Amino acid sequence: MSKHSPVEFGLLAPDIIVPAMGQALRKLDPRSLARNPVIFSTALVSLLSTVLVVREGLQGGPAFAIGLQITVWLWFTVLFANFAEAVAEGRGRARADAFRATRSSVQAKVIADPRQRTGFRVRDVDRLEIGELILVEAGDIVPTDGEVVEGVASVDESAITGESAPVIRESGGDRSSLTGGTRLVSDWLVVRVSARPGETFLDRMIALVEGAKRQKTPNEIALDILLAGLTLVFLLVVTTLPFFAAWSGTTIPVVYLAALFVTLIPTTIGGLLSAIGIAGMDRLVKANVIAKSGRAVEAAGDIDVLLLDKTGTITFGNRMADAFEPAPGISARQLAEAAFLASLADDTPEGRSIVDLAARDFGFDAAQAGAASFVPFSAHTRMSGVDLPGGVTIRKGASDAMAALTGAPLSPAVDQIVKRIGSSGGTPLVVARDGRVFGVIHLKDVVKPAIRERFAELRRMGIRTVMITGDNPLTAAAIAAEAGVDDFLAEATPERKLELIRREQAEGRLVAMCGDGSNDAPALAQADVGVAMNSGTPAAKEAGNLIDLDSDPTKLIEIVMVGKQLLISRGALTTFSVANDVAKYFAILPALFVTAYPGLAVLDVMGLGTPQSAILSAIIFNALVIVALIPIALKGVRYSPAPAATLLGRNLMIYGLGGLVVPFIGIKAIDLLVDLLHLA
């Protein structure tokens, strides 16, 4: 089970296809069909055609055979459209079943006092109330969503995220959120229940991936209105044709008019529209991102500004020792030794990196510390260090704190080193031994490899990137330049983040950002696309409209790509559908009127056999093309970053021209087969 895809299903797996066939029949319910105006109209026409064919058969009319075939293929058109939607929903339902399998019929250990780990009462999960405290111990399945109020534990979240490595959850901070269905690997936690039964994160995730609560997006609604308008226009066109035929002394069978109407209206995109939207959300699920709404997925494809935290997104987040820069009169070895001894008991990533660098460059050993007394870091003193036997004291810390310790300003040479490191985006740590400054440790927040190329890729997509950091402007500018972002916000606070988002939106831009803390909740709620980390606080997850199960802030880039692909796929298949309809006109219109107007024969560019075979071939092709395009609707049209004009040109060339050419080839091939089998 891979990290980015906890559940994998083949594009058209048998365990999805077979149930989808039955679901396609159930979707013939008028209440279901009414949600799609194009397919609903096709179903009504199919019903009318069925009545007419039955009457023709009872009367022994000569047009019964061709009418029956047309009617069958009209119903197939409706069924294939339902089938496309059912397959998309089936993929989501299969994922939901896999998520549902993570549930266990566990009971909760309810306690009254977080300081007591005994005397708890066992209660069914469906009777838990928000705010109650529960105890979860090593080996237990977490019964419901909650927030850790006491304890630190290792949690296996593989059932939700697919990531096999356990994660740490602890009280306070941004790693206090606990998801129901996960399992404690070690230690214990006291958890405050944050969700009602049936409203947990897992419950909502199941409902979303099933598509049960998926609402149409504004773009889908707008396209539905356009398709309904085109359907109405072509209905008026088709109803006027019998009058023209009567005026010319000919008659057109109603079943032929039904075939003409269905081939004129955009049944291809009408049948695939819902499947495209559902598949877009499904692609996000494969990337371990849960969308609370289709609107968020579409907005991701349209965003103009992307806000990213520096720490953990652009950089690795842990400042690493990069160099020892000694003061005048001090050797690099002397400085490295003092820094090494002062950092032996420092378990922070920074402290460990100092020890590693000194040991690697100079071969120091921990035994050199002897019977040392270590001084842990204090936020009050802003320094840490070690006291060695013989009264030797070594301290390392911020430059101003060390200046206060020595009782004198830093020497010009050391002060210059401090400023140079700060201006380059690094963090200077001054080291002093017995009150004498030995030099400066250069800590560097390392920019992730290839991140600059990813930002360049976003720039080609027309997206401006903004780095958000709590660093001072000088440090922020240096890291922004190294990473290749377009802009940065230094010394960021929740209020400044919110102000930045509102300013960008006031200028007509769509904004995306990610966050995991309660202080990010206002900005996540304000952003057009707010991506909350699954490891974050309940407030952050409630405020965002997308939840990243992997808690990887760089996932924003993948989310943008999925959103772009959704929009491109819908546009491409709409283009194909419209062009496809144009080509079908040349099959049916000449066939209908060539008897009355022999001059229309010049429009029969395909050289179809007979008027009857032309109409039958067009209606068969119209049904089959929906089936042929289902894989594209589910998988999505391939997207690569490029200017809008380039994408439009490629879209018109491939799907516009393809939509014109493919029907000529397909209808002609079907016509030859129809003639060969004497079906018309």
Does 520 carry a binding-site annotation?
Answer: yes
35 alpha carbon, distance to own chain's centre = 26
Burial 88-108 (b: 16+ CB within 10 A, else e): bbbbbbbbbebbeebbeebbb
Rounded distance between C-alpha atoms, residue 548 and residue 531, angstroms? 7
Strand order in the sheet with 511-515: 289-291, 546-548, 529-533, 511-515, 305-309, 464-468, 487-489
For residue 156, the tally of other CB atoms under 10 A from its CB is 19
Does 442 carry a binding-site annotation?
Answer: no
Rounded distance between C-alpha atoms, residue 297 and residue 215, angstroms? 12
User: Residue 427: which of 328, 311, 334 has the closest Cα?
Assistant: 311
User: Residue 214: which of 92, 38, 34, 36 has the closest Cα?
Assistant: 92
Provide DSSP, 102-148.
T----EEEEES-TT--SS-EEEEGGG--TT-EEEEETTPBP-S-EEE
Task: For strands 511-515 and 487-489, give the pairing.
Answer: unpaired
Burial 635-668 (b: 16+ CB within 10 A, else e): ebbebebeeeeebeebbeeebbebbbebbbebbb
E strands, 434-503, where?
Answer: 436-447, 464-468, 487-489
Does 327 carry a binding-site annotation?
Answer: no
Does 671 carry a binding-site annotation?
Answer: no
In this structure, which amino acid lies at residue 65?
A
Q: Is 309 annotated as catalytic?
A: yes
Does 638 carry a binding-site annotation?
Answer: no
For residue 674, the tally of other CB atoms under 10 A from its CB is 22
- Residue 296 makes CB contacts below 8 A (sequence gap 6+) with 529, 530, 545, 546
Does 381 carry a binding-site annotation?
Answer: yes
Does 350 carry a binding-site annotation?
Answer: yes
Catalytic residue among 224, 309, 445, 471: 309
Rounded distance between C-alpha atoms, residue 299 and residue 301, angstroms? 5
Does 29 carry a binding-site annotation?
Answer: no
Does 384 carry a binding-site annotation?
Answer: yes
Rounded distance between C-alpha atoms, residue 145 and residue 654, angstroms? 48
Does 382 carry a binding-site annotation?
Answer: yes
In this structure, which amino acid lies at residue 22?
G
Rounded distance between C-alpha atoms, residue 470 and residue 467, angstroms? 10
User: Residue 134: which of 154, 151, 112 has the closest Cα?
Assistant: 112
Does 346 carry a binding-site annotation?
Answer: yes
Residue numbers in the known binding site for ATP are 346, 350, 377-384, 396
Residue numbers in the known binding site are 346, 350, 377-384, 396, 516, 520
Residue numbers in the known binding site for Mg(2+) are 516, 520
Active site residues: 309
